[in-house]
Amino acid sequence: MKAMEIKLYYILALVVLVINLSSYGICQTKEDLGKGASFIFGDSLVDAGNNNYLQTLSRANIPPNGIDFKASGGNPTGRYTNGRTIGDIIGEGLGQPHYAMPFLSPNTTGRTILSGVNYASGGGGIMNATGRIFVNRLSMDIQVDYFNITRKQIDKLLGPSKAKDYLKRKSIFSVTIGSNDFLNNYLLPVISVGARISQSPDAFVDDMLNHLRGQLTRLYQLDARKFVIGNVGPLGCIPYQKTINQLDENECVELPNKLALQYNARLKDLVQELNENLPGATFVHANVYDLVMELIINYAKYGFTTSSKACCGNGGQFAGIIPCGPTSSMCSDRNKHVFWDPYHPSEAANLIVAKQLLDGDTKYISPMNLRKLRDL
Ligand SMILES: *[C@@H]1O[C@H](CO)[C@@H](O)[C@H](O)[C@H]1NC(C)=O
Ligand SMILES: *[C@@H]1O[C@H](CO)[C@@H](O)[C@H](O)[C@H]1NC(C)=O
Ligand SMILES: *[C@@H]1O[C@H](CO)[C@@H](O)[C@H](O)[C@H]1NC(C)=O
């Protein structure tokens, strides 16, 4: 009798323990696996904290960044915005059990990686040389190398055949990159003047797309099948560009926007090419440029009071020169600014963009939205 009671007690304790652990997302049950994963590649628009672990000049783990990020109680996490990134919001929208964790975080181990991993890095670009003014960042080549490490860990966790199936059917690979190749490479004054003289915009865009084709093909070789590729936003309209070029409120700098559009037109062709050439893969094109431009032009329609002035930052007419930090001035209503800082959208803007990518139509996300991509 006594032995039976003890056994029962242990079973009960075990059940309670398992329930507790799964509610904290620590223990990945079979049910969680069914919710799928996000593997996130990109730059500061989607970095969830990788740069905290690099010796770099590009960091966002200082207040008031993260002030509206509930999961950290408003403490900075390394995200370059006041709250959630587009990648976080999409993961939530798709029903994933927790945000994809930064690859470089020591906590990103064991079964947590089955909900996805984030490789994005502030300052990172398609080209290796991009962002070198920050000293350190993870460029796209390295991000794919890191996924190759995760790939082997997933093999160990699930066994090779289940791992393959999980990656092909249940995992979404998002790539948000390219802005820094212009802002912190091609367009940089002085440092890259040599490159700009020797390379036409056409040749540079060509180089970018050839590299990106190689990087996406490597992900395919590692069993990625469901891709979403974001184009480059209207770089000439960010508070930083508007401030240093001393523009009026409703003007944008021409050259950065022209370069972005030139790249974006060719990116669309690349997405179509990959859909035709890589059997079993679906590449979805996210038209971030038009989405963000819509918010910038029609900001009032979406409840914003400005799309030119950064909420957090300093310098010039649009608070667009000095990045957001403890000594910056901060706006009183963070939901009323399209831009959080001189470079990055606010969480309020990210929510609108993410909603369109999840559930919108082909104007912004084609050939299908992310909910349909998940359910393929
Ligand atoms: C890692 O997990 C521990 C325990 O949950 C937590 O205290 C710590 O803040 C986490 N570290 C990071 C960098 O997330
Ligand atoms: C970029 O860097 C990676 C890692 O250091 C390297 O493997 C790759 O060959 C480099 N690419 C080019 C084009 O230099
Ligand atoms: C992944 O890593 C292995 C070595 O561990 C290498 O042989 C393979 O080429 C890599 N795959 C890709 C796509 O980079």
Over residues 107-140, the pLDDT tens digits come to 999 999 999 999 999 999 999 998 887 888 999 9
Q: Is residue 189 within 8 Å of residue 256, measured between CB atoms?
A: no
Backbone angles phi, psi at 362, to 5 degrees: -70, -5
Q: What is the mean pLDDT of residues 193-197?
A: 57
Work out the average pLDDT over 26-37. 63
> CA–CA separation, 80 vs 67, rounded Å?
11
Q: Please state, in angstroms and rounded to a whole number, the distance separating the CA atoms of residues 202 and 221.
A: 29
| 137, 141, 142, best to mutate for ligand 2 pocket (most atoms within 8 Å of CB) | 141
> Catalytic: 344?
yes
Q: What is the pLDDT of residue 191?
A: 55
Judge whether 262 and 339 are in contact, CB under 8 Å: no
What does the pLDDT read at residue 187?
A: 86
Q: Whose CA is nearest to atom 1 of ligand 2?
A: 128
Among all chains, which residue has been given the structure tokens 């509610």? Answer: 23
DSSP state of 95: T
Confidence band of 293 (pLDDT split at 50, 70, 90): very high
Pocket lining: 158 vs ligand 2, CB cutoff 6 Å = no
What is the mean predicted confidence (pLDDT) over 160-187? 95
Query: Which amino acid, residue 96?
Result: Q
Please give the distance, rounded to the nearest whole angstrom, from the Cα atom of residue 141 to the centre of ligand 2: 6
Ligand 1 centroid vs 40 CA: distance in angstroms?
20
Query: Does 221 contact ligand 3 (Cβ within 6 A)?
Result: yes
Rounded to whole angstroms, the Cα distance separating 199 from 16 reads 63
pLDDT value of position 213: 98
Q: Where are the alpha helices (DSSP H) in 254-346?
A: 254-277, 288-297
| β strands within 10-67, DSSP E | 37-42
- Is 206 an active-site residue? no
Nearest CA to ligand 3 atom 6: 148
Percent of the chain scored above 90 by pLDDT? 77
Which residue shows structure tokens 């350190």? 136
DSSP assignment of 208-275: HHHHHHHHHHHHHHTT--EEEEE----GGGSHHHHHHTT--TT---HHHHHHHHHHHHHHHHHHHHHH
Residue 22, CB-side half-sphere exposure with 13 Å CA sphere: 11
> How many C-beta neighbours within 10 Å does residue 210 have?
12
Buried b (16+ CB within 10 A) or exposed e, 12-48: eeeeeeeeeeeeeeebbeeebbebbbbbbbbbbbbbb
pLDDT on residue 6: 46
Q: How many angstroms separate the CA atoms of 123 and 44, rounded?
A: 6
**Preceding amide of 102 cis, omega within 30:** no
Question: If pLDDT is split at 50, 70 and 90, which confidence band does 322 have?
Answer: confident
Q: Which residue owns the Cα nearest ligand 3 atom 8?
A: 148
Ligand 2 close to Cβ of residue 141 (< 6 A): yes
Q: Which atom of ligand 2 is nearest to the CA of 211?
A: 13
Ligand nearest to the CA of 61: 1
Is the predicted pLDDT of residue 64 greater than 80, yes or no?
Answer: yes
Instruction: Report cis status (omega within 30 of 0) of the bond before 76.
Output: no
Chain centroid offset of residue 61 CA:
16
3-state secondary structure (DSSP) of residue 71 = helix
Give the nearest ligand 3 atom to 219 CA: 13
Active site residue 328: no
User: What is the average per-residue pLDDT within 266-292?
Assistant: 98
Catalytic residue of the set 32, 38, 43, 44: 44
Phi, psi of 31 (to 5 degrees): -60, -40
Cα(230) to ligand 1 centroid in Å equals 31
CB-based contacts of 342, cutoff 8 Å, min separation 6: 238, 239, 240, 243, 310, 313, 318, 319, 320, 321, 322, 323, 324
Closest atom, ligand 1, to C-alpha of 49: 13
Q: Could you say which of 211, 285, 337, 344 is catalytic?
A: 344
- Determine which one of 88, 181, 223, 341 is catalytic: 341
